[in-house]
Structure 1
Amino acid sequence: MKQEYRDLVLRCSGASSLRIGARIQTLWSGYGQIVRLHLEGCDRPSVVVKHVQFPAEAEHPGGWNTDRGHARKVRSYQVEAHWYRNFSTEPGCRIPACLEACSHGDEMLMVLEDLDVAGYDVRRTSVKEKEMKACLSWLAHFHALFLGVPPEGLWPVGTYWHLETRPDELEAMDDAELKAAAADIDRVLNECRFKTIVHGDAKLANFCFSQSGADVAAVDFQYVGGGCGMKDVVYFLGSCMEEKECEKKVPGLLDYYFTELRHSVKKDVDFEALEEEWREMFAFAWTDFHRFLLGWMPGHWKINRYSKRLTKEVLSKLKQQS
């Protein structure tokens, strides 16, 4: 780590010295890394640093190495830094505190609270209903907090699979009917009366759990932006359940999300209208992500009968409306 970055971490944390610890992960497509730094002489034993370094040549796991893809990733890190500098949440939707977020040429540095130290030290690759409900509660509090808040400095439309930012994947699709309907599905979602700020990448891997599994915090805000809260909900549910589980558990989990949302929104919100609209948007949001997967990685495990059934329902509704 460059001396100027070490100095920056010492300055913003108030530490007298630091030691570079373990690399937590490498960023997608080789765009840098996340490391833990151990501190001395301050009230924080450690911080987590997200160190972004834009590569001369990206290595995308799926082979999607394009100038458009690079520009999207660069913008995503700019959005994330803006998010940490300018937005804050509440205990019901815990995120790491940001000590510093800055750019130096083709590098960026975000110095964040170490959530492990704060008690969110468990990562899960599979979850039971309690953990799923903890994440859905987080999303409900997050969506309620930012309901009606304009996404200034963020993505105008959040989520990493947003149609406008994914023309290459749309072009690669074989499903002609869904391909033709993609713009209409996007329009329906964008014309929602009730908009919030969505996390944009609310998969299971981006939640940090307490030991009990009852409390969570979320990380990775590269694709945070405006939109319908159902986008986060469908992406989360699809990240931790296969098709048979979806058929069985989604209705109850969706009810739980809306119960949490009702308790979290301000009293002047017409909640009945909000719930009616967002329940209608559930299948549209699921189909929107299904559309992305078909173009991006047509062999993906999330392309299943549950997704295809919802897509069929949405396409039928669009035909009736036209």
Structure 2
Amino acid sequence: MNPEYQALILKSCGATSLRLGAKIQTLWSGYGEIVRVHLEGCERPSVVVKHVQFPAASGHPGGQNTDLSHKRKVRSYQVETHWYQNYSTNPSCRIPVCLASCSRGDEMLIVLEDLDVAGYDQRRTSVGDKEIRACLSWLAHFHALFLGRDPDGLWPLGTYWHLDTRPDELEAMDDLQLKAAAAPIDRILTDCRFKTIVHGDAKLANFCFSKTGKEVSAVDFQYVGGGCGMKDVVYFLGSCMEERECEKKVPPLLDYYFSELEKAANKDVDFVALEKEWREMFPFAWTDFHRFLLGWMPGHWKINRYSKKLTKEVLHKLKGMN
């Protein structure tokens, strides 16, 4: 890390010295890294630094190294920086505090509060109902907070799999019926009456848990933007449950999400209409992500009977709408 970045960290935290700690993770496709930085002479013992370095040529596990892919990633880091600089939430949908950020040529730096120090030091690769409900509550409060809000400076339509940003994956699809339905499905989701700001990458790995598992904070806002809240919900549920669990658990978990959303929403919101619309959007949102997976990684474990069942239902509904 160059002296300019080190000086920025020291100044933003009021620290007298710093020491680079462990690398937390490498960013997707080799676009930099996230590291913990230990501090001296200030109240914060450490911060987390997201250091983005755009490579000349990137490697991708799916083999897609297109110019469009690179531009999408660059834009995602610009959006994330704007998010941390200009948006805030509340304790019901906790995010790390942004302490500083800067951009220099092909590099970007975001200095964030260390959530481990704040009490969110647990990561989960498998979860029970308690943790799932904590994340759904976070999403409900997040969606309620930004209900009707324009996504200024963010993605006009959030989520990393949004159709307009994924023409390569659409072209690669073998399922011609779903391929033909991709645009109508996207249009139905985009034209929904009740819009909010979605996290856009609300998988289990992007939630940090308290020791009890009852409280969470979310990270990774590269694909935050406008849209229907169901996009976050289906992506999260699909990230932490196998197909048999989905059949049994999705209905009561969806009920729980809407109960939390109703508690958090402003009283002037027509919640009956909102819930009716978003429940109708649920299978469309699930099918939309299923469409992306079929073009991106056809052998992915999330392509299962539950997803195929919902997709079949959606395709049948579309036929009835024509």
Give the TM-score range, shorter chain: over 0.9
What's the CA shift string for 1:252-308, capped at 9, x where partnerless?
A: 000000000000000100000000000000000000000000000000000000000
The equivalent residue for 2:240 is: 240
Written as runs of structure 1 = structure 2, the 5 A alignment for 1:98-247 is 98-247=98-247
User: Partners in 2 of 1:14 and 1:104 — Cα distance?
Assistant: 22
Name the residue aligned to 2:75. Answer: 75
Give the Cα separation in 2 of the matches to 1:162 and 1:14.
Answer: 40
Q: Which amino acid is 2:242 matched to?
A: E
Superposition RMSD in Å? 0.3
Whether 1:23 aligns to 2:23 is: yes
Structure 2 gaps, min length 5: none
CA distance in 1, matches of 2:113, 2:310: 40
Query: Separation in 1 of the partners of 2:2 and 2:36?
Result: 15
The residue type paired with residue 100 of structure 1 is A
CA separation in 2, counterparts of 1:16 and 1:139?
38
- The structural deviation recorded for 1:101 is 1.6
**Separation in 2 of the partners of 1:109 and 1:218?**
19
Question: What is the alpha-carbon distance in structure 1 between the residues aligned to residue 179 and residue 72 of structure 2?
Answer: 22
CA distances 1:176-230 after superposition (whole Å, capped 9, x unpaired): 0000000000000000100000000000000000000000000000000000000
**Residues 1:41 and 2:41 are matched in the alignment:** yes
Q: Where does residue 300 of structure 1 map in the other structure?
A: 300
Are 1:250 and 2:227 matched, yes or no? Answer: no
Counterpart of 2:267 in structure 1 is: 267
CA–CA distance in structure 2, aligned partners of residues 13 and 106 of structure 1: 24
Measure, in 2, the Cα distance between the counterparts of 1:43 and 1:281: 46
Deviation above 2 Å: which 4+ runs of structure 1?
A: none
Matched residue type, 1:261: L
Could you say which residue in structure 1 is the equivalent of 2:57?
57
1:104: how far off? 0.6
Question: Which residue matches 1:87?
Answer: 87
> Could you say what secondary structure the match of 1:49 adopts?
strand
User: What is the distance in 2 between the residues matched to 1:11 and 1:58?
Assistant: 33
Equivalenced residues, count: 322
**Separation of aligned partners in 2, 1:113 and 1:221:** 15
TM-score normalised by the chain length of structure 1: 1.00
TM-score (norm 2): 1.00
